[in-house]
Amino acid sequence: MIPAAFEYHRASSVSEALQLLQRLSDAKLLAGGHSLLPMMKLRLTSPAHLIDLGRIEAMRYIRQDGQTLAVGALTTHWEIESSQLAHSTAPALAEAASRIGDVQVRNVGTIGGSMAHADPAADYPAAMLALDGQIVAESPRGRRTIPSVEFFTGIFTTALAPDEVLVEIRVPATSGRTGQAYLKFPHPASGFAVVGVAAVITRDGGGRCTRARIGITGVGPAAYRPTAVEDQVTGSTLDEKAVAAAAAHAADGVDVNEDLFASAEYRAHLARVFTKRAVLAAAQRGG
Ligand SMILES: Cc1cc2nc3c(=O)[nH]c(=O)nc-3n(C[C@H](O)[C@H](O)[C@H](O)COP(=O)(O)OP(=O)(O)OC[C@H]3O[C@@H](n4cnc5c(N)ncnc54)[C@H](O)[C@@H]3O)c2cc1C
């Protein structure tokens, strides 16, 4: 499978990438290439120009910025998975990174590429929603910050404008009696999430849940927050029966995906099972 002919451009900075995006028509940004190149080989997309971001070292970092974890868009899944800082400040993000594909994919694929691609079965979107993460985009008009809950707008679509480059991911650092978990039922062939659930659970001194944030991927056209589950978990003592009753609403109102591997009914069942497990795991990890 050979892609259609294209012209290759290497950007050495974000501003050069933005200029190239402005100047070239029918151009696409290239990061790790682990989603874009397969699509080009299948001729699902045939851009006339590729703008390679891969050498922009300034887009590759993991650092603490006050109470926020800041991750450059070009940071690979492996770099996030193996970062002590990511594990201590946003464990669900690091856990999601560690569950992506295989080691070859994690060595090359980037968080910015994954977020911009917005595959409905990608792992990060669930973690980003549960963590109340933000996406920073840069364009000739300057920078803007997009809450993750507004970022995923549909199947393979996001709130990014065509002239924007995703430059950074921002996640509030965990604090207090908060536990996080990302659990996934992987597709046996591709490794993508048939269902993936991230949970961030905060408890008070008596063990009662004071705040619940949950993100679910793989189930609908885009990752989503099951707010009915969050509402029912909040205020509960997080015993297994209460969490199971809340998790029963994990797929409510969702147009559940269906494919050769998993019927809509099976996927909705997995969503409920993995929501229960992720909430209980997060509660336990929070102490
Ligand atoms: C065999 C295999 C298994 C995989 N398994 C999983 C899995 O289990 N879970 C999972 O989540 N993913 C999985 N993936 C996808 C993988 O995580 C990709 O790395 C990721 O989806 C895309 O990242 P990339 O850096 O390769 O982006 P690219 O392929 O380079 O780009 C993807 C899209 O994002 C755009 N883009 C890239 N960077 C930016 C930017 N900074 N700003 C704006 N737009 C940008 C590109 O123009 C393109 O449209 C798998 C991939 C393969 C090949």
What distance in Å separates the CA atoms of residue 175 and residue 127, rounded to the nearest whole number?
16
Helix axes 264-285, 240-247, angle to 10 degrees: 140
Domains of the chain: 7-52 (3.30.43.10), 61-172 (3.30.465.10), 178-285 (3.30.390.50)
What pLDDT, on a 0 to 100 scale, did the predictor assign at position 176? 85
pLDDT at 284: 95
Query: Terminal CA-to-CA distance of the chain, rounded, Å?
Result: 51
Choice between 73 and 176, residue whose per-residue pLDDT is larger: 73
Average pLDDT on 184-188 reads 96
What pLDDT score does 34 carry? 96
Check residue 18 and give its pLDDT.
98
Share of the chain above pLDDT 70, in %: 100
Model's pTM, two decimal places?
A: 0.97
* Contact (CB, 8 A) for 100 and 77: yes
d(C-alpha 100, C-alpha 186), whole Å: 9
Ligand 1 close to Cβ of residue 168 (< 6 A): no
Distance from residue 24's CA to the centre of ligand 1 (Å)? 22
Render pLDDT for 108-154 as a digit per residue (tens, 0 to 9). 999 999 999 999 999 999 999 999 999 999 999 999 999 999 999 99
Which amino acid does the sequence have at 150? E
pLDDT at 287 over 80: no
What is the percentage of the chain residues whose pLDDT exceeds 90? 98
List, in sequence order, the alpha helices (H) in the chain.
14-23, 36-41, 77-81, 84-89, 91-98, 103-108, 111-117, 124-130, 148-151, 227-233, 240-247, 264-285
In angstroms, what is the span from residue 31 Cα to ligand 1's centroid?
8
The preferred substitution site among 34, 42, 138, 156 for testing ligand 1, maximizing ligand atoms within 8 Å of CB, is 34
Mutation pick for ligand 1 pocket among 24, 100, 128 (CB with most ligand atoms within 8 Å): 100
112 lines ligand 1 (CB under 6 A): yes
Separation CA 70–CA 79 (nearest Å): 13
The confidence band for 175, taking pLDDT boundaries of 50, 70 and 90, is confident
Is ligand 1 within 6 A of the CB of residue 33? yes
